[in-house]
């Protein structure tokens, strides 16, 4: 599994983020903070962009209460997003850094409009960026000989094509991203289309479902039995890996099956070595169901380029959180990217310092701090102090409801 990697996010005038950015993002990022600090809003950036891609910016805003509800209080200028990402290496060669910029404002008729949409490449750290796509108010252009960019090097001569969109609130990447010749646009479009934010619900995952095919776990987990059956029937080696991991993570679990009933429904069954008969999912512990669902998600044969997981510690025994962190890290090391929010010191204890960020609020706006940038936290962690204990002791200033 090799996916693109997001290296920087900048947000301006989006809810609690009046001006914030994170640079040099690792493949696994964990965000701490008090309730209301902005952890969910950080994930919502991708949800907003995804909704804008599927429909338009106006729809994405209305889904969140309209422009006024999304716009930061007392903000100045447009809503702005900047995402820097890099595609996978090709033949061992690092690919150029790609920057996507989007600004959203209001026209004289108080209708949302895209005031700026730019996708650019930069060759090396100092090379001049090439704007492969540049649109404003529904008009712009895109380079159509992108494939020559790397081979031609400094002799690259761009060929541009003018385009006019149907409406000034439509993303240019929505249409152009469907064409293979616009490779960078297509890759970013796939990121937004295939990102995954977990809203896992135990009762939904315990459902007895109608038969049918589901290749990917839904955000609520309500198709867990169908996906289990699909992986077992089509990717048996992956299923064996999941089962092996399950037996390591939850003692006693020897077998998991998705079986079809006489009336044509699918039942998820777990076999415990201590008992003769298997348990159907509704009688299995919440923690067992949740761990199995995460393994199904993390070993998806066609994994998501970005996972956003909120509070994975819910329903899990504290002793399992170290192992769950290891599973997320293994997914990241295989080439995926995972953003996680947590309120659990036990989960944080399993982290490496470069994976950890915390959110603070100053005068009503959210700032993002990196654990490695705090000299005291860095020193204590190097001496062997666990990050979760440091958090409980108040070393992450501003990360708690009383600090």
Q: What are phi and psi of 334, to 5 degrees?
A: -80, -5
CA of 47: how far to CAs of 195, 209, 214, 365, in Å?
9, 28, 22, 20
Low-confidence ranges of the chain (pLDDT < 50): 273-279, 281, 283
pLDDT of residue 125: 59
Q: What is the spatial distance between Cα 225 and Cα 268, in angstroms, rounded to a whole number?
A: 5
CA of 250: how far to CAs of 246, 277, 316, 318, 328, in Å?
6, 18, 11, 12, 16
pLDDT of residue 11: 97
Q: What is the spatial distance between Cα 253 and Cα 268, in angstroms, rounded to a whole number?
A: 13
Q: What are phi and psi of 343, to 5 degrees?
A: -120, 15
Q: What is the spatial distance between Cα 207 and Cα 202, in angstroms, rounded to a whole number?
A: 9
Burial class (CB in 10 A: 0-12, 13-18, 19+), 253: buried
pLDDT of residue 403: 56
pLDDT of residue 214: 82
Q: What is the spatial distance between Cα 270 and Cα 247, in angstroms, rounded to a whole number?
A: 11
pLDDT of residue 274: 44
Task: Dump pLDDT digits (tens) for 321-374.
Answer: 998 999 999 999 988 899 999 999 999 999 999 999 999 988 889 999 999 999
Q: pTM for this one?
A: 0.86
Task: Dump pLDDT digits (tens) for 261-319.
Answer: 665 566 667 676 444 444 454 546 777 788 888 999 999 999 998 999 999 998 888 88
Question: What SS3 class is residue 219?
Answer: coil
Q: Looking at the DSSP assignment, which residues form a beta bridge with residue 15?
A: none
Q: Looking at the DSSP assignment, which residues form a beta bridge with residue 11?
A: 20, 81
pLDDT of residue 275: 41
CB 365 within 8 A of CB 18: yes
CB 312 within 8 A of CB 294: yes
pLDDT of residue 279: 42
Delineate the domains of the chain, giving CATH numbers in brackets. 5-27+40-195 (3.40.50), 197-303+306-351 (3.40.50.300)
Mean pLDDT of the chain: 83
What single string gives the DSSP state of each residue in 284-307? S-HHHHHHHHHHHHHT-SS--S-E
What single string gives the DSSP state of each residue in 30-74? EEE--TTSSHHHHHHHHHHHHHHHHS-HHHHHHTTT-HHHHBPTT
CA of 348: how far to CAs of 98, 147, 238, 352, in Å?
31, 43, 28, 9
CA angle 278, 241, 306 (to 5 degrees): 110
Contacts of 22 (CB under 8 A, 6+ apart): 8, 9, 29, 357, 368, 370
pLDDT of residue 86: 82
Q: What is the spatial distance between Cα 64 and Cα 49, in angstroms, rounded to a whole number?
A: 12
């Amino acid at each position: 599994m090799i996916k693109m990697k997001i290296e920087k996010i900048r947000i301006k005038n989006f809810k609690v983020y009046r001006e914030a950015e994170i640079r040099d993002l690792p493949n696994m990022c964990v965000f701490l903070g008090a309730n209301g600090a902005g952890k969910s809003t950080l994930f919502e950036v991708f949800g907003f962009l995804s909704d804008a891609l599927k429909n338009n910016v106006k729809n994405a805003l209305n889904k969140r209460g309209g422009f006024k509800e999304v716009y930061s209080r007392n903000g100045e200028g447009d809503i702005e997003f900047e995402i820097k990402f890099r595609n996978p290496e090709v033949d061992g060669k690092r690919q150029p850094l790609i920057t996507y910029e989007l600004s959203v404002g209001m026209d004289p008729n108080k209708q949302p409009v895209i005031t700026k949409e730019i996708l650019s490449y930069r060759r090396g750290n100092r090379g001049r960026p090439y704007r492969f796509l540049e649109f404003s108010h529904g008009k712009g252009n895109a380079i159509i000989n992108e494939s020559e960019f790397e081979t031609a090097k400094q002799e690259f001569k761009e060929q541009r094509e003018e385009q006019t969109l149907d409406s000034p609130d439509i993303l240019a990447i929505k249409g152009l991203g469907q064409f293979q010749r616009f490779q960078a646009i297509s890759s970013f479009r796939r990121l937004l289309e295939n990102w995954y934010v977990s809203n896992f619900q135990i009762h939904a995952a315990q459902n007895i479902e109608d038969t049918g095919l589901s290749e990917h776990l839904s955000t609520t987990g309500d198709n867990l039995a169908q996906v289990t059956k699909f992986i077992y029937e089509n990717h048996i080696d992956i299923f064996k890996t999941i089962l092996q991991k399950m037996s390591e993570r939850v003692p006693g679990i020897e077998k998991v099956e998705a079986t079809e009933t006489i009336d044509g429904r699918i039942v998820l069954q777990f076999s415990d070595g201590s008992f003769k008969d298997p348990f159907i999912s509704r009688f299995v512990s919440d923690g067992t169901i949740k761990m199995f669902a995460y393994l199904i998600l993390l070993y998806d044969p066609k994994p998501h380029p970005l996972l956003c997981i909120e509070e994975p510690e819910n329903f899990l025994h504290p002793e399992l959180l170290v192992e769950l962190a290891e599973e997320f890290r293994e997914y990241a090391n295989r080439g995926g990217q995972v953003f996680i929010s947590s309120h659990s010191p036990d989960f944080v204890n399993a982290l490496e310092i470069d994976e950890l960020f915390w959110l603070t609020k100053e005068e009503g706006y959210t700032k993002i701090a990196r654990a490695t940038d705090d000299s005291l936290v860095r020193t204590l962690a190097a001496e062997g102090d666990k990050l979760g204990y440091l958090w409980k002791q108040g070393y992450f200033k501003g990360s708690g409801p009383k600090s």
